[in-house]
């Protein structure tokens, strides 16, 4: 095989890795939007908090002398999921629930406020410096000639993609099979009606926030380990990217968020690979503008019908 094909596949693999984490975060945006019709701009901050928690847990376990990487990462992810869900749940109760019957714009401003609050809270609690972590999982699969043209897919990349697939499969099962999932789907269509059929909409809304936060925590743990660095501002850009992914795929649509995340990741990595890395954000957000202009409902979304 020629050089250029190896290079292309490498870029696609890198793109799918980043794209899966965008997809994980995007689920939180899209599910909340689907049910209560608002953009939870504090979601990126939940992702950032998830990253911090897993860093703290990993550091703690290392100090205690653990050396099994899989147990460490698994534990870090679990603690991160639990604490991030508690954040997601609380954010909804404190900042959005009291505003549920007011105009959308008011809840949106509250979300932005929540985002600024959390960012600064973490900055005070953890400092504004970058916190770095040595990579726990090294090495990878090498395809091709080690000295010439080759593809290198690190174990971390494989873990990210496999974990994402497991999470997405679990979520799809939950949404399509479980009773709460059924109630979530019905509420996304008409939350007033599910309420009148005896379903407590507060529980449905809390569930979507908890699911969204859990997946953001998974993404935070994975991406944190991939980059090996975290600071209080990572939530902002990751949140924007994931939001772009959700809009790209069609906001409100879960498969759309998955597809949007992957597409965004791949287009970013192709830009970085064939053009220059500095332009990858330009491409990502140009994509957002183009989608909003020419295809506002996204790839898998339905045209907006104003809910009565």
Regarding beta strands 131-132 and 140-144, do their DSSP bridges make them parallel or antiparallel, or are they unpaired? unpaired
* Residue 141, beta-bridge partner list: 153
State yes or no: residue 194 binds another protein (CB under 8 A): yes
Helix segments in 178-253, DSSP class H: 179-189, 191-196, 201-227, 234-249
State yes or no: residue 150 binds another protein (CB under 8 A): no
State yes or no: residue 189 binds another protein (CB under 8 A): yes
Among the listed ranges 68-76, 171-179, 219-227, 262-270, the one in contact with another protein (CB under 8 A) is 171-179
Contact string (CB under 8 A) for another protein, positions 201-240, x = contact: x---------------------------------------
- For the purposes of burial, counting CB atoms within 10 Å of the CB of 98, is it exposed (0-12), middle (13-18) or buried (19 or more)? exposed
CB 81 within 8 A of CB 218: yes
State yes or no: residue 190 binds another protein (CB under 8 A): yes
DSSP structure class, residue 278: G
Distance CA 204, CA 183 (A): 7
Nearer residue to another protein within complex by CB, 136 or 180: 180
Q: Please identify which residue in 98, 113, 139, 192 interacts with another protein, judged by CB under 8 A.
A: 192
State yes or no: residue 82 binds another protein (CB under 8 A): no
State yes or no: residue 303 binds another protein (CB under 8 A): no
Regarding beta strands 229-230 and 150-154, do their DSSP bridges make them parallel or antiparallel, or are they unpaired? unpaired
Q: Which of residues 61-80 bind another protein (CB under 8 A)?
A: none
Q: Which two tokens stand for residue 125?
A: 């609690």
Q: Please identify which residue in 4, 63, 103, 177 interacts with another protein, judged by CB under 8 A.
A: 177
Number of shown-chain residues binding another protein (CB under 8 A): 21
Nearer residue to another protein within complex by CB, 10 or 207: 207
CB 248 within 8 A of CB 288: yes
Q: Give the other-Cβ count within 10 Å of 148's Cβ.
A: 8
Taking the complex as a whole, the smallest distance from the CB of residue 196 to another protein amounts, in Å, to 5
Largest alpha-carbon pair distance within the chain?
A: 67
Taking the complex as a whole, the smallest distance from the CB of residue 173 to another protein amounts, in Å, to 9
Taking the complex as a whole, the smallest distance from the CB of residue 203 to another protein amounts, in Å, to 9
Q: Please identify which residue in 69, 186, 270, 283 interacts with another protein, judged by CB under 8 A.
A: 186
CB 275 within 8 A of CB 79: no
Question: Which distant-in-sequence residues (6+ apart) come within 8 Å of 110 by Cβ?
Answer: 95, 96, 99
Taking the complex as a whole, the smallest distance from the CB of residue 189 to another protein amounts, in Å, to 5
- For the purposes of burial, counting CB atoms within 10 Å of the CB of 3, is it exposed (0-12), middle (13-18) or buried (19 or more)? exposed
State yes or no: residue 198 binds another protein (CB under 8 A): yes
State yes or no: residue 93 binds another protein (CB under 8 A): no
State yes or no: residue 103 binds another protein (CB under 8 A): no
**Where on the chain is the footprint of another protein (CB under 8 A)?**
177-180, 182-183, 185-186, 189-190, 192-201, 308
């Amino acid at each position: 095989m020629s050089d250029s094909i190896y290079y292309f596949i490498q870029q696609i693999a890198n793109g799918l890795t980043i794209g899966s984490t965008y997809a994980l975060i995007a689920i939180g945006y899209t599910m909340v939007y689907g049910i209560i019709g608002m953009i939870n701009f504090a979601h990126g901050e939940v992702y950032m908090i998830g990253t911090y928690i897993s860093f703290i847990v990993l550091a703690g376990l290392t100090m205690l002398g653990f050396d099994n990487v899989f147990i460490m990462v698994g534990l870090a992810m679990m603690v991160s999921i639990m604490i991030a869900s508690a954040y997601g749940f609380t954010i909804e109760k404190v900042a959005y629930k009291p505003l549920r019957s007011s105009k959308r714009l008011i809840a949106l401003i509250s979300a932005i406020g929540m985002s600024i609050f959390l960012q600064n809270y973490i900055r005070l609690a953890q400092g504004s410096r970058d916190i770095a972590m040595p990579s726990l999982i090294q090495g990878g699969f090498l395809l091709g000639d080690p000295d010439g043209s080759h593809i290198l897919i690190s174990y971390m990349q494989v873990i990210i993609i496999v974990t994402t697939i497991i999470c997405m499969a679990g979520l799809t099962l939950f949404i399509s099979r479980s009773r709460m999932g059924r109630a979530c789907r019905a509420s996304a269509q008409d939350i007033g009606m599910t309420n009148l059929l005896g379903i407590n909409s507060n529980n449905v809304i809390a569930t979507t926030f908890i699911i969204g936060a859990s997946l953001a925590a998974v993404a935070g743990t994975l991406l944190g380990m991939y980059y090996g660095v975290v600071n209080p501002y990572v939530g902002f850009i990751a949140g924007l990217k994931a939001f772009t992914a959700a809009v790209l795929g069609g906001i409100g649509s879960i498969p759309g968020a998955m597809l949007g995340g992957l597409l965004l990741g791949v287009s970013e990595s192709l830009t970085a690979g064939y053009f220059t890395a500095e332009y990858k954000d330009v491409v990502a957000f140009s994509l957002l503008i183009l989608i909003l202009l020419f295809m506002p409902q996204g790839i898998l979304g339905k045209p907006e019908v104003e809910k009565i």
